[in-house]
Structure 1
Amino acid sequence: MTSTPTSPAGANATRTYGADPAQVYDVYPPAAGTSANGTVVVVHGGFWRAEYDREHAVPEAKAFAAAGYHVALVEYRRAGMPGGGVPGTLDDVRDVLASISSQPDLPQPLVLVGHSAGGHLVTWAAGQPWARERGITGVVSLAGVVDLGAADRLHLGDDAARAFVGSGPGTAAWTSADPMSTLPPAVPVRLVDGSDDDTVPLGVADAYVAKAKAAGGDVTEDVVQGADHFAVIDPSAPAFAHVLTAVRSLTGRPTP
Structure 2
Amino acid sequence: MPASANRMRRTLAVLLPVTMVAVTELPAQPPIPPTRRMSAADIDTVTLARPSIRQPYGADSLQWGELRLPDRQGRAARAPVAVLLHGGCWIASFATLRNTAPLADALAAGGMATWNVEYRRSDSPGGGWPNTFLDVAAAVDHLRVLARSFPIDTARVVIVGHSAGGQLALWAASRGALAPASPLYRADPLRPAAVVSLGGITDLDEFAQRAASGCGRGVPRLLGGPPAELPDRLAASSPIRRLPLGTPTLHIAGEQDGIAPDSVRQGYVQAARAAGDAPSVNRTVPGGHFELLDPRTEAGRTVVRELLSLLPSTRPGG
Pairwise same-fold verdict (TM > 0.5): yes
Structure 2 counterpart SS, 1:26: strand
Query: Does 2:214 match 1:160?
Result: no
Question: For the Cα contact (< 8 Å) 1:132–1:187, is it kept in 2?
Answer: no
Q: How far apart are residue 217 of structure 1 and its match?
A: 0.4
Candidates 238, 249, 259, aligned match of 1:199: 259
How many Å separate the matches in 1 of 2:112 and 2:188?
20
- With a CA cutoff of 8 Å and minimum separation of 6, indicate the structure with the bigger relative contact order: 2
How many Å separate the matches in 1 of 2:259 and 2:310?
27
Query: Does 2:57 match 1:17?
Result: yes
Question: For the Cα contact (< 8 Å) 1:79–1:163, is it kept in 2?
Answer: yes
Query: Does 2:107 match 1:59?
Result: no
Query: Does 2:124 match 1:81?
Result: yes
Query: Does 2:157 match 1:110?
Result: yes
- The letter for the 2-side match of 1:119 is G
Against the structure 1 CA distance between its residues 37 and 31, is the aligned structure 2 distance closer, same or farther, given a 3 Å change threshold? closer
How many Å separate the matches in 1 of 2:237 and 2:191?
21
**Superposed CA offset, 1:15-60 (max 9, x none):** 1111110000111111467987401111111111111211122111
Pick the structure with greater CA Rg. Answer: 2
Question: For the Cα contact (< 8 Å) 2:223–2:233, is it kept in 1?
Answer: yes
Query: Does 2:171 match 1:124?
Result: yes
Against the structure 1 CA distance between its residues 18 and 36, is the aligned structure 2 distance closer, same or farther, given a 3 Å change threshold? closer
How many Å separate the matches in 1 of 2:304 and 2:217?
31
Q: How far apart are residue 115 of structure 1 and its match?
A: 0.4
Q: Which residue of 1 aligns with 2:29?
A: none
Against the structure 1 CA distance between its residues 180 and 199, is the aligned structure 2 distance closer, same or farther, given a 3 Å change threshold? closer
Q: How far apart are residue 146 of structure 1 and its match?
A: 1.2
How many Å separate the matches in 2 of 1:135 and 1:9?
30
How many Å separate the matches in 2 of 1:158 and 1:248?
31
- The letter for the 1-side match of 2:219 is A
Against the structure 1 CA distance between its residues 135 and 163, is the aligned structure 2 distance closer, same or farther, given a 3 Å change threshold? closer
Question: For the Cα contact (< 8 Å) 1:147–1:205, is it kept in 2?
Answer: no
Structure 1 counterpart SS, 2:221: helix
CA-based RMSD of the aligned residues comes to: 2.4
Identity %: 31
Q: Which residue of 2 aligns with 1:137?
A: 193
Q: How far apart are residue 133 of structure 1 and its match?
A: 5.0
Structure 1 counterpart SS, 2:175: coil
Q: Which residue of 1 aligns with 2:22?
A: none
| Count of matched residue pairs | 246
Q: How far apart are residue 186 of structure 1 and its match?
A: 2.2
Q: How far apart are residue 132 of structure 1 and its match?
A: 8.9
With structure 2 as the length reference, what TM-score do the two structures score? 0.71
Query: Does 2:66 match 1:26?
Result: yes
Segments of structure 1 that go 5 or more residues without pairing to the other structure are 1-7
Q: How far apart are residue 203 of structure 1 and its match?
A: 3.0
Q: How far apart are residue 9 of structure 1 and its match?
A: 7.3
Against the structure 1 CA distance between its residues 207 and 86, is the aligned structure 2 distance closer, same or farther, given a 3 Å change threshold? farther
**Superposed CA offset, 1:139-165 (max 9, x none):** 100000111122112124152212221
Query: Does 2:92 match 1:45?
Result: no
Q: Which residue of 2 aligns with 1:5?
A: none
Against the structure 1 CA distance between its residues 12 and 229, is the aligned structure 2 distance closer, same or farther, given a 3 Å change threshold? closer
Question: For the Cα contact (< 8 Å) 2:103–2:304, is it kept in 1?
Answer: no
Segments of structure 2 that go 5 or more residues without pairing to the other structure are 1-47, 178-186, 314-318
- The letter for the 2-side match of 1:70 is A
**Superposed CA offset, 1:62-85 (max 9, x none):** 011111111111000001111211
Candidates 113, 124, 133, aligned match of 1:70: 113
How many Å separate the matches in 1 of 2:281 and 2:258?
21
How many Å separate the matches in 2 of 1:205 and 1:154?
14
With structure 1 as the length reference, what TM-score do the two structures score? 0.87
